[in-house]
Amino acid sequence: MAGAGALAVVAVCGPAHAQSTVTVYGRLNTSIEYSRASTATDGAVLGGTGRLTNNRSVFGLRGEEGLGGSLKAIWQIESNLSIDNGAGQIAGRNSRIGLSGDYGTFFMGHWTTPYTEATMEYDPYYPTTAGYMALISNGSASSTNNIQDTHSFDRREQNIVQYRSPEWKGLRAGVGWGVPEEKPTTPRNPALYSFATTYDRGPLNLALAYEIHQHYQTAGRNDDAIKVGVSYQFASTKVSALYERLHYRTATGDLTRNGYYTSVVQKLGPGSIRLGFALAGNGAGNATETVGFFRSGAQTGATQFTLGYDYPLSKRTALFTYYSRINNRKNAIYDFAINSLGVSAGADPQTFALGMRHNF
């Protein structure tokens, strides 16, 4: 979410003369890419293609109204838009209504989970084709519920209730509950429970997050994920790293996988060099299903390498370029989580991008 230079409108209303503010903000993020994949294990060939890709551009409105003391009513309507093809959806991204005060923030709506938000700042390519969601969190769900995208732990959840604690000496906590609205129409009781604690003070950031997907794969069994991360900002260098363990419980058994990610952002001239590296281990367990990008067995792991440069034209506008490649092992099917190519096992998707980003 952008908005450092957003337009704010302030209105005075009501007998208590409470202030109500409305802020217009957004992000336009598009790139020209050339993408291709190497030959798959079975000999399938996916030809290279040039494309204009949208990297989750947004348009939003948000506001608040003082209710007395520290208590405020808060709201936000954030919409996705694609300036490459004109598509879009009102309230398709983070949208909510709630209350905020000295004791934290409570809200209801359609919002990214605490688990997702805990480490998204660790990835300098979030959210683009090169984002770490290809390997970390097993894909990305931009807008989903308890019966869709059941593989992904990087998700914006519909019908979610959340609480965010106030900051205390750098510590914050968040809790989210994906309400089980699908129960009347599905033969199980799917729900989501998301938790995160972060420490952010000075140059140091620490994150611990845990999420449970109740009955996502099958009735009576829960999936879960846990990740820990650390990020440190040196004078001209930022280094981040995280570890994640995913555990799915399917109708045929268990499926687990370890994942690792590290990034370096090095200031160079007016801009910065940005390096990201992800590693997904082999899937393990006795489950026979493929869940998202992986399944159990040998040669099912992958790595992703991304290198690029970000060049600011102003505080709000930047040009960028990057090259990203996923190296799949013989039986692996990892693909870009955003703007995927549709690869077969063993094929290595890669992309080269030239893009422009503007925040307002």
144 found inside a domain? yes
309 found inside a domain? yes
pLDDT of 197: 98
Residue 346 one-letter amino acid: G
* Residue 52 three-state SS: strand
pLDDT of 117: 98
pLDDT of 290: 97
Asked if residue 253 lies in contact with residue 284, where contact means CB atoms within 8 angstroms, the answer is no
User: Quick one: CA dihedral 254, 257, 258, 259, positive or negative?
Assistant: negative
User: Quick one: CA dihedral 197, 170, 64, 102, positive or negative?
Assistant: positive
pLDDT of 86: 84
pLDDT of 17: 46
Of 172, 223, 220, the closest CA to residue 196 belongs to: 172
Other beta carbons within 10 angstroms of residue 97's beta carbon come to: 12
Asked if residue 133 lies in contact with residue 122, where contact means CB atoms within 8 angstroms, the answer is no
Number of domains in the chain: 1
pLDDT of 85: 87
207 found inside a domain? yes
72 found inside a domain? no
Q: Which residues are CB-contacts of 181 (< 8 A; sequence separation ≥ 6)?
A: 145, 146, 159
DSSP for 158-186, please give it: EEEEEEEPPPBTTEEEEEEEE--TTGGGS
74 found inside a domain? no
Token pair for residue 302?
A: 């992958």
Token pair for residue 273?
A: 């060099």
Token pair for residue 58?
A: 């947004």
- According to DSSP, residue 297 is labeled S
208 found inside a domain? yes
Query: What's the rounded Cα separation, in Å, for the pair 166 and 220?
Result: 35
Which run of H or of E encompasses 31? strand 18-37
Rounded CA Rg of the chain: 21
DSSP for 79-134, please give it: EEE-TTT--EETT-SSEEEEEEETTEEEEEEEEE-HHHHTTGGG-TTTTSTT-GGG
95 found inside a domain? no
Residues in the chain, pLDDT under 50: 1-5, 10-17
Residue 155 domain boundaries: 31-56+108-359
pLDDT of 59: 97
pLDDT of 83: 84
Query: What's the rounded Cα separation, in Å, for the pair 296 and 259?
Result: 14
* CATH code assigned at 194: 2.40.160.10
Query: What's the rounded Cα separation, in Å, for the pair 205 and 245?
Result: 20
71 found inside a domain? no
pLDDT of 7: 52
Q: Which residues are CB-contacts of 111 (< 8 A; sequence separation ≥ 6)?
A: 94, 95, 96, 156, 157, 160, 162, 176
